């Protein structure tokens, strides 16, 4: 009995001392500014690299990012349990109304969603079109040698075997970009499953996460799925080109994705969809990923560190995007981002250093 009581005391003391230690180093003046963010998993590798690089240049700023998913990021910034959120699908109007205060969407980087398939006998990348992709995921096209696919790929030697569809089993910004595109190019898709981070899939099986879909497609011959470009590239899975709005078959790359975001009219709140973008070189299934922050920052020191970090990430930081298979923000978008960052205030004073 005494032993148990002693163990209890040891545990209690350890916890108490531990808490005290944490409380101590944030309370001092001139101590490091800790920024916490949470949200989308897709940009996580880049955000972590940015955070590490930024900490090297500014040792007093510590940035901690948790990839818990876009939905979680929106929830946490709405409840103000983090300093910034991150999402691949822009917040809806009703979601924005729930937040206490004005939330800003800052585009950070761009990504592409690519159709991935497993057909060992097909050597050259296949070409898909929007309507054909919609029919595939609606279950209207069920075999690889369907006339619609052969018309797009006359010389590919498509085999006579069934297509099995793989989609995400969890909610995802990747799914939002993909279904947003399908809704724009196929009326049947728009009135059917529609767009969303999770939809009512008519056919196929589900796999969790981009890596889950990539692994499933890689393992099972005849499968067709969709993943972020970085996962197709890293896992060495065949991915197809997609015919864009201008009628050209375009393969996803940093250039073709940036081209999709070079829009003429950009909405004031930067919640812009860049799927099915015009332009000969634009890759049609492209998307932005945003960081969410409040326009009025409660804590001036934290707010300033956050705005300076975002300014750096959207300028110098963009050079780190391409090696990780992300596409940098196009020049057309940058003035809009700068204006947004300048509008962030704390106690009525603008925070940005530039």
Partner 1 sequence: MEAVISKFESADQRTAPQRTGVTVRAREGRLYHGLLTAAALVAPAILVLFVGVLVYGAWPSIRAFGLSFLTSSVWEPHPEREQYGALPFIVGTLISAVLALCLAAPFGIAVATFLNEVLTSRWRSAARFLIEVLATIPSVVYGLWGIFVLAPWVSNTLQPVLARSLGFLPIFGPPYEPRNMFCAVLILAIMVLPIIVSISLEAIRAVPASYREAALGLGATRWEMIRVAVWPACGSAFAGGCILALGRALGETMAVTMVIGNGRRISPSLFAASDTVASTIANQFAEAPSDLFTAALIEMALLLFLVTLAVNVLARWIIRPSLPGAGGRS
- Out of 72, 85, 107, 240, the only residue in the binding site for partner 1 (CB under 8 A) is 72
Single out the residue of 78, 164, 241, 258 in contact with partner 1 (rule: CB under 8 A).
Answer: 164
Closer CB to partner 1, residue 164 or residue 346?
164
CA distance 133 to 62: 43
Is residue 315 within 8 A of residue 322, CB to CB? The reply is: no
CA distance linking residue 135 with residue 129, whole number of Å:
10
* Distance of alpha carbon 103 from alpha carbon 160, whole angstroms: 51
What lies within 8 Å, CB to CB, of 191 at 6+ separation is none
Q: How far is the CB of 182 from partner 1 (least distance, A)?
A: 13
Q: How far is the CB of 157 from partner 1 (least distance, A)?
A: 23
Between 118 and 275, name the residue whose CB sits nearer to partner 1. 118
Measured from the CB atom, is 73 or 317 closer to partner 1? 73
Query: Taking CB under 8 A as the rule, does residue 197 contact partner 1?
Result: yes
- Give me the DSSP letters along 133-196: HHHHHHTS--BTT-HHHHHH-TTS---S-B-EEEEESS--HHHHHHHHHHHHH-HHHHHTT-SS
Taking the CA atoms of the chain, what radius of gyration do you get in angstroms? 23
How far is it, in rounded angstroms, from Cα 81 to Cα 59? 24
- Answer yes or no whether residue 26 interacts with partner 1 by CB under 8 A: no
In contact, 352 and 283? CB cutoff 8 Å: no
Q: Which stretch binds partner 1 (CB under 8 A): 44-52, 205-213, 230-238, 307-315?
A: 205-213
User: Is the CB of 175 or the CB of 314 nearer to partner 1?
Assistant: 175
Say whether residue 198 binds partner 1 (CB under 8 A).
Answer: yes
- Quick note: the x/- pattern for partner 1 over 96-135, rule CB under 8 A, is ----------------------------------------
CB of residue 86 vs partner 1: minimum separation in angstroms? 13
Burial of 162 (0-12, 13-18, 19+ CB in 10 A): exposed
| Cα–Cα distances in angstroms (integers) from residue 217 to residues 42, 230, 239, 333, in the given order | 19, 15, 11, 35
Backbone angles phi, psi at 317, to 5 degrees: -60, -25
Q: Which stretch binds partner 1 (CB under 8 A): 25-33, 58-66, 204-212, 339-347?
A: 204-212
Q: Which is nearer to partner 1, 146 or 170 (CB)?
A: 170
Whole-angstrom distance, CA of residue 83 vs CA of residue 51 = 14
Query: Smallest gap, in angstroms, from Cβ of residue 160 to partner 1?
Result: 15
Q: Say whether residue 170 binds partner 1 (CB under 8 A).
A: yes
Q: Rule CB under 8 A: choose which of 208, 246, 332, 349 binds partner 1.
A: 208
Q: Where does this chain bind partner 1 (CB under 8 A)?
A: 68-72, 92, 162, 164, 169-172, 193-194, 196-201, 204-208, 215-216, 219-220, 223
């Amino acid at each position: 009995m005494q032993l148990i009581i002693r163990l209890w005391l040891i545990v209690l003391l350890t916890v108490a001392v531990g808490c005290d230690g944490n409380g101590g180093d944030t309370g001092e003046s001139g101590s490091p500014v800790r920024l916490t963010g949470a949200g989308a998993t897709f940009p996580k590798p880049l955000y972590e690299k940015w955070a590490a690089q930024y900490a090297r240049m500014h040792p007093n700023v510590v940035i901690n990012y948790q990839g818990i998913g876009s939905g979680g990021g929106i929830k946490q910034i709405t409840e103000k349990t983090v300093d910034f959120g991150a999402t691949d699908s822009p917040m809806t109007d009703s979601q924005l109304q729930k937040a206490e205060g004005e939330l800003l969407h800052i585009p950070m980087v761009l990504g592409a969603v690519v159709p991935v398939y497993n057909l060992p006998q097909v050597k050259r990348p296949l070409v898909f079109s929007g309507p054909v992709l919609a029919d595939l995921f609606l279950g209207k096209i069920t075999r690889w040698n369907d006339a619609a696919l052969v018309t797009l790929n006359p010389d590919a030697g498509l085999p006579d075997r069934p297509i099995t569809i793989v989609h995400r089993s969890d909610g995802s910004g990747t799914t939002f970009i993909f279904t947003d595109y399908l809704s724009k190019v196929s009326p049947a898709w728009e009135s059917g499953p529609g767009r969303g981070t999770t939809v009512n899939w008519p056919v196929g099986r589900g796999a969790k996460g981009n890596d889950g879909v990539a692994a499933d497609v890689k393992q099972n011959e005849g499968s067709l799925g969709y993943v972020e470009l970085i996962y197709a590239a890293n896992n060495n899975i065949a991915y197809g080109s997609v015919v864009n709005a201008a009628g050209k078959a375009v393969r996803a790359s940093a250039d073709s994705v940036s081209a999709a975001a070079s829009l003429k009219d950009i909405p004031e709140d930067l919640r812009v969809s860049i799927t099915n973008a015009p332009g000969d070189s634009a890759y049609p299934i492209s998307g932005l990923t945003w960081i969410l922050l409040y326009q009025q920052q409660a804590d001036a020191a934290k707010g300033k560190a956050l705005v300076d970090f975002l300014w750096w990430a959207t300028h110098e930081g963009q050079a780190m995007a391409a090696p990780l298979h992300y596409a940098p923000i196009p020049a057309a978008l940058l003035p809009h981002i700068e204006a947004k960052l300048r509008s962030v205030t704390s106690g009525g004073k603008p925070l940005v250093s530039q």
